Amino acid sequence: MSEDADDSPRLALIGDEFPEMTVNTTHGELTLPDEYEDEWFVLFSHPGDFTPVCTTEFVGFEQRREQFEEMGVNLIGLSVDRVHSHLKWTEWIDDELDVEIGFPIIADEGGSVGERLGMIQPNAGTSTVRAVFIVDDTGTIRTILYYPAEVGRNLDEVLRAVEALQFSDAEGVATPADWPNNDMFGDKVLLPPPGTEADADARLEEAEEKGYDARDWWFTLKDR
> pLDDT, tens digit, for every residue of 122-137?
765 667 889 999 999 9
Paired with 105 in beta bridges are 77
- Active-site residue set: 54
Can you give the pLDDT at residue 119?
86
DSSP assignment of 2-30: -HHHHHSPPPP-TTSBPPPEEEEETTEEE
Q: What integer pLDDT is reported at residue 9 of this predicted model?
A: 61
List domains and CATH numbers for the chain.
Answer: 3-153 (3.40.30.10), 172-224 (3.30.1020.10)
pLDDT band at 160 (very low <50, low <70, confident <90, very high): very high
CA distances from 157 to 7, 143, 172, 190, 210 (A): 36, 12, 21, 20, 32
What pLDDT digit, counting tens, does each position of 95-116 carry? 999 999 999 999 998 888 988 8
> Which residues have CB under 8 Å from 126's CB, separation 6+?
80, 111, 120
SS3 158: helix
Sorted by sequence, the CB contacts under 8 Å of residue 29 that are 6+ apart come out as 22, 23
Rounded to an integer, what distance in angstroms lies between the CA atom of residue 169 and that of residue 177? 17
Q: What is the pTM of this model?
A: 0.92
Phi and psi torsions of 147, nearest 5°: -130, 150
Per-residue pLDDT of 72-82, as tens digits, reads: 999 999 999 99
**Chain segment 21-68, per-residue pLDDT in tens:** 999 999 999 999 999 999 999 999 999 999 999 999 999 999 999 999
State pLDDT tens for residues 178-221: 999 999 999 999 999 999 999 999 999 999 999 999 999 999 99
- Mean pLDDT, rounded, for 1-7: 46
